[in-house]
Structure formats: C-alpha cells, structure tokens
Amino acid sequence: MPFGRFTRAFACSLLTMTAAAPALADDYPSKPIRWIVPYAAGGGSDFLARTISQGLSPRLGQTIVVDNKPGGNTAIGASETARSAPDGYTMLSADNGTLVFNPALYAKLSYDPEKDLAPVTLLGKFPMILVAGPALKATDVKGFIAEVKASAKGMDYGSAGAGSPHHLAMELLKVETGVNLVHVPYRGAAPSLADVAGGQVPVMMVDLAAGAGFIKGGKVRALAVANPTRLPQLPDVPTFAELGYKNVEAAAQVGIVVPAATPKPIIDKLNHDLVETIKDPTIRQKLVDFGIEPVGDTPAEYAALLKDERVRWHKLIRDLNIKLD
C-alpha cells in the first residue's frame, strides 16, 4: 500500500476508535451488571453493596446482581474480577485487604491490584474503634496501656481475621504505644466480639457496623476511635489523636474496582452514577445509620488514596515482619 494511502487509512482507523469511545458510555449498560462482594452475605461490605445497588440500579436502568464470593482474604473475588471481560459488567467491592494489605502479606497472590484492577470510587469508610470487655479493668486508653505494661506476658487481642483492617489497626496501635499485644485471629468480627464481651479476650478493634449492637447494649466499652474526628454515633468517645496518638488512624475502606482494561468512558459513567447514588439523602442516611462514613470520589482521588495507603501500611507490615503464607 502506498505510504499516503496507508497514512489516510491509519488516520481513519484512529478517528473511528476515538469516536467509538464515547459511544461505549452511550450504549452502556445494555444488560445486568454483576457486583462481586468478596465476603459472605450479611456483613458490612455486603450491606454497603446491596444498599447502594438499590439506588444505582434505576440510575443505570439495569438490574444489579450482588454475587458473594468469600474466601482467600478477598483474593477469590478479586481474581475473578481481574479475569473478567473489561466491559463494565463486572465490578468488585474491594477493601484495604484486597488493594493494600494482601500484596505485602502474601509472597504469592493470584492477582495484582495495581496492574489487574482499575479504581472507580471509594464508596465509604468503616472507622476502627478500640473496644474492651469485662476482662479489661481499665476504663480508658491510658488505663489500658498501663494494664498491658503491668503484665509480663502482655495482653491478647481479638480480630476479624489475620490480615484484616481490625488486625492491622491493632498492630499499628501496638507500634505507636510500645505495648506488648498478642494477636488472636477469629473467622469474622462477630465471633471475636462475642469473646471480648464474654471476657475470653480483653480487647479488639472493630468497626461500628459490626460493633454497634455490642456497644449500645453495654456488652463492650468503646475506649477510643481511630478516626481524625469523633464519630457522630459515639460523641463521647475520644479519638486517639486527642489522647496523644495522632498516627493511630485506621478504617476499613471499601471501594469499587473493575478489570484494568475497562474503557475510561465506562469507568467515568460508573463513577458518576455511583457518586450520585451515594449523595442521595435516603441512601446516605442508611449508610450512616449502619456505621459507614459515605465518601464517593473520583477515580484519580481513589487511586491517590490507595498509593498513600500502600506506602503507610506496607512499611508497618515490613517492620513487623507480618506474613500470612
């Protein structure tokens, strides 16, 4: 083919591709969307997905099918999403474990969160709260630290599982306070909370969504929140920053990601409709009542947050030599 004809053909091809990109968003979605949640039904991430999907579905004009795929510290759901067609019809609820912790905790991982998954938006945060049961005599953080230091063997703490935000929040507290805390992992926040309330384990970090019933019922005591500001649901509970531990900030952060090669117009449409859904007063109030801090940001803002979180938490994991393989 003569060079001039080749150049014209290439230019026409490029123009066709460019024109097709916005059309992808115009035609999308034309069938139901699968929303993978890498946890069992009934938990905080599941509630978040099902609540937002109620408002998102009419905006998109399509059914949204929430598909629970628990296991592998969220790796099963993440891997399935990464292998899915990059067409906007599969999205994943991804938390810090999926996108931040797992690459540092596991020598081998079945997906690469930076290469295989594209950020859409941060849906919301589940701020961590230090709670204590009857096995702890202290009634505040100062007393808790003194009680741990007075024990030669330190103190046990429960978590929702190894590698969970609850686990790493306590490890962060351990580093910042210099006390000896020993991890006792459970299979979920509920059984861990039950043992804290029963006096088998003295303390744990828990999110309000999981712990509200225990706190309001007086089964556990909230000592401090690992959040920059006090929680409106617990106005009398101080932040760690107020108590002199400004670096103790931790939350389960749940966002939406899609396969990495998903076209930008589709990501932008998903982002717009998800953010507008989160802004809806009825949806927003349901999330707040459940103990979730609604967010809704841009793909770029979410990507920047993930970058900062990886730097912060990977250092902690390396320094403490935490490995789950």
Within 10 Å of residue 153's Cβ, how many Cβ atoms? 8
Secondary structure class of 27 (helix, strand, coil)? helix
Q: How confident is the model at residue 325 (pLDDT cuts 50, 70, 90)?
A: confident
On whether the CB atoms of residues 204 and 159 are closer than 8 A, the answer is: yes
Q: Is the pLDDT score of 7 beyond 80? A: no
- Cβ neighbours of residue 189 closer than 8 Å, sequence gap 6 or more: 43, 160, 166, 206, 207, 210, 211
Place of tokens 């969160």: 113
On whether the CB atoms of residues 287 and 294 are closer than 8 A, the answer is: yes
pLDDT value, residue 8: 52
Residue 172's alpha-carbon distances to 43, 91, 169, 317, in angstroms, are 24, 31, 5, 9
pLDDT value, residue 18: 46
On whether the CB atoms of residues 292 and 253 are closer than 8 A, the answer is: no
For residues 129 and 146, give the distance between their C-alpha atoms in angstroms, rounded to a whole number: 19
Nearest to 207 by CA among 135, 302, 293: 293
Q: How confident is the model at residue 25 (pLDDT cuts 50, 70, 90)?
A: low
On whether the CB atoms of residues 28 and 90 are closer than 8 A, the answer is: no
pLDDT value, residue 188: 84
> In the structure encoding, which two tokens stand for residue 154, read together?
């330190």
On whether the CB atoms of residues 133 and 201 are closer than 8 A, the answer is: yes
One DSSP character per residue, 33-92 reads EEEEESS-TTSHHHHHHHHHHHHHHHHHTS-EEEEE---GGGHHHHHHHHHS-SSSSEEE
- Tell me the mean pLDDT in the region 257-286: 97
For residues 264 and 271, give the distance between their C-alpha atoms in angstroms, rounded to a whole number: 10
pLDDT value, residue 189: 87
Please write the tens of the pLDDT for every residue from 93-134.
Answer: 999 999 999 999 999 999 999 999 999 999 999 999 999 999
- Tell me the mean pLDDT in the region 177-186: 94
Please write the tens of the pLDDT for every residue from 127-181.
Answer: 999 999 999 999 999 999 999 999 989 999 999 888 999 999 999 999 999 999 9
